[in-house]
Structure 1
Amino acid sequence: MSKKITDLAYEKSYKPWHDSFKHPFITELHAGTLDPTIFRYYLLQDRYYLEHFGKLYDLIAQQTDNAKLKSALQENSAGLEAGEFAIREIFFRELNITDKEIKNTPVAPTTYNYVSHMYRQLYVESPLVAAASMLPCEWLYQEIGEYLSTKDSPIPIYQQWIDSYATEEAKLGVQKQRALIDELAEETSPIEQQKILEAFEISTQMEYKFWEMSYAKETW
């Protein structure tokens, strides 16, 4: 393979990747004009997504035979607890999002489909393909955070959201994940490499749809 697989995956997913930067959810969040009820709905759906994102780290780590992948995923799981989960708890307190509201908010179709897609990669494909399906979330959010960090949002909680991804730690974490997937992909078959590209592309499309879902407050 002449190019690294994460470079190929990025190229394959270029349009939905860059469309995310231009989505009204992102541009209005940055400008401070995003309807607070949209951000609230996003947080409620993201809570479900992150809950399963964390479970997937643990499940993939349990099922992989590769020591490097197992170690990286265990590290990511711990980082998620200390990072996004902790920040979301702050957001939920600030916005008075209660357990009752969480329980009474149905999981939206896009949230359900995105999470189901990642589980499918583990149970139908392989731990490596499943790990690759999780990479767009980390990578895209880091790039969006870095892109938006050049100018502050006038809404403090929106700026907190941006700041949580515009960190050197997040950037280094993505670089580490990419390097590992690139390394392991070189050791696998062309068929699995193609599965990695497909899983990555679908996840990137689902990332864009997640903004759409939040913005429209999507329901069944």
Structure 2
Amino acid sequence: MNSDILREKAGKLWENYVKHEFVIKMKEGGLDLESFRYYLIQDSKYVEMMLKSLLRASSLAPLSYSTKILKSIFDTRDKGMEVHSWLLSRLGISHEEIQNTGYSLVNYAYTRHLYYYSTKSWEEFLAAWAPCMWGYYEVGKFVKDSPNELYSKWAEFYASDVYKSRVDVILEALNSIKYSESLVTPFINSVKFEIMFWESALKKEPTLIIGD
């Protein structure tokens, strides 16, 4: 299957992604709360742009797959938003703070990478998008028993059957297309971006001021 081929081609990068130091620290409960706070703000900005990219890519997709994926995302969004809102509240993160915080360099590059492929082809967009959705299910299962309530709560959604239903329809769509080497670059680059996303949160790297 395409997903198996692409994951194999990613090699050790995949393990570096799903078992990154950031992830391990969440699992153990010792991740610095300021790093997690930084991550949540950047992730909020990522999700907004990711959804825009998904909607753009859907216009290039076979109707049967685009409708199934969009339905799976929006049917399960309430549960994800419930957990996300709880975390933002616990950490005192407001909508205004998210809006007024700039993108980290890697987040800016990653979201533009997704948007680029959303305008190029449905097939390549799927390859670029899959590492985020698929990898977070693995990360969620790994972190869900964290002794830290914030991290276990965060992981609870990603480890859930509800979230897995999203992953299943995305991988079904990815595996339905004809394999091409053109899928490899967007997939591997997205895995690299995921690794850098964790690293930027650990380091709390400076953010960019983006003009209108």
TM-score by length of 2: 0.90
1:159 aligns with 2:152: yes
How well do the aligned residues superpose, as a CA RMSD in angstroms? Answer: 1.8
The corresponding residue for 1:218 is 205
- Tell me which amino acid in the other structure corresponds to 2:174: I
- Tell me which amino acid in the other structure corresponds to 2:63: A
Cα-to-partner distance string for 1:96-153 (whole Å, 9 max, x where unaligned) = 1123322332110000010011111122x2122112211111100001112334xx21
Superposition deviation, residue 79 in structure 1: 4.0
Cα 1:58/1:21, change in 2 over 3 Å: closer
The corresponding residue for 1:13 is 10
Residues 142, 171 of structure 1: 8 Å contact kept: yes
Superposition deviation, residue 19 in structure 1: 0.8
The corresponding residue for 1:145 is 140
Count of residue pairs brought into register by the alignment:
207
The corresponding residue for 1:38 is 35
Cα 1:100/1:168, change in 2 over 3 Å: closer
Cα 1:199/1:56, change in 2 over 3 Å: same
- Tell me which amino acid in the other structure corresponds to 1:118: L
Distance (whole Å) between structure 2 residues aligned to residue 39 and residue 79 of structure 1: 27
Structure 2: 5+ residue runs without aligned partners? 208-212
Distance (whole Å) between structure 2 residues aligned to residue 109 and residue 41 of structure 1: 13
The corresponding residue for 2:210 is none
The corresponding residue for 1:29 is 26
Residues 58, 73 of structure 1: 8 Å contact kept: no
1:175 aligns with 2:162: no
The corresponding residue for 2:67 is 71
The corresponding residue for 1:99 is 95
Cα 1:91/1:76, change in 2 over 3 Å: same
The corresponding residue for 1:190 is none
Residues 18, 136 of structure 2: 8 Å contact kept: no
Counterpart pick for 2:130 among 127, 135, 155: 135
Residues 134, 167 of structure 2: 8 Å contact kept: yes
- Tell me which amino acid in the other structure corresponds to 2:27: H
- Tell me which amino acid in the other structure corresponds to 1:127: W
Cα 1:129/1:21, change in 2 over 3 Å: closer
Structure 1: 5+ residue runs without aligned partners? 187-192
Q: What are the equivalent positions in structure 2 for 1:43-58 lying under 5 Å apart?
A: 43-58=40-55
Distance (whole Å) between structure 1 residues aligned to residue 53 and residue 118 of structure 2: 8
TM-score by length of 1: 0.87
Superposition deviation, residue 32 in structure 1: 1.1
- Tell me which amino acid in the other structure corresponds to 2:46: Y
Distance (whole Å) between structure 1 residues aligned to residue 57 and residue 68 of structure 2: 11
Greater CA drift, 158-167 or 74-83: 74-83
Cα 1:44/1:147, change in 2 over 3 Å: same
- Tell me which amino acid in the other structure corresponds to 1:146: K
- Tell me which amino acid in the other structure corresponds to 1:117: H
- Tell me which amino acid in the other structure corresponds to 2:101: T
